[in-house]
Amino acid sequence: MLGVGYVWRGGKTLGTSAEWSQVARFVASIAVGFMLLELSLELIGFRNKPRESLVYLRNGILLSLLFSMMQTFHARLLHGTLLLVTAVVVLGIVASGVVNRRFARTKIFDRSGSDEDNNQ
């Protein structure tokens, strides 16, 4: 269970359900905000790249999860199982950045390769 922890110490290692529902509400509101922003930009015509929109949404969700956990759990975030959860979120942000960077490099390389084929 999510709230099960060290009963003899009087604390819960993963937080209460009320704390996690606060985290979930914050993440959901940020996700909805990102989707509305991307949708409005696509409808106006500023952006027409849905794959990149999904990348920004994914990064926004991970960052909002990290910041909402920091705001909700404060100093408890650096102890016990919450430290492991925080480390997984940070590793997810780093992994997403690496994947996005490699995807952008592959996309640029493919464009340059197709230009050379057309010139010959």
- Look up residue 103 and give its DSSP letter: H
Residues 6+ apart with CB under 8 A from 27: 61, 64, 65, 68
- CA dist 21 and 2 (Å) reads 11
pLDDT tens profile 54-106: 666 677 788 899 999 999 998 888 888 889 999 999 998 888 878 777 776 66
Whole-prediction pTM: 0.66
31 burial via Cβ count (<10 Å: 0-12, 13-18, 19+): middle
Higher-confidence position of 36 and 47: 36
- CA dist 106 and 119 (Å) reads 20
Domain ranges in the chain are: 17-108
The position carrying tokens 């919450």 is 82
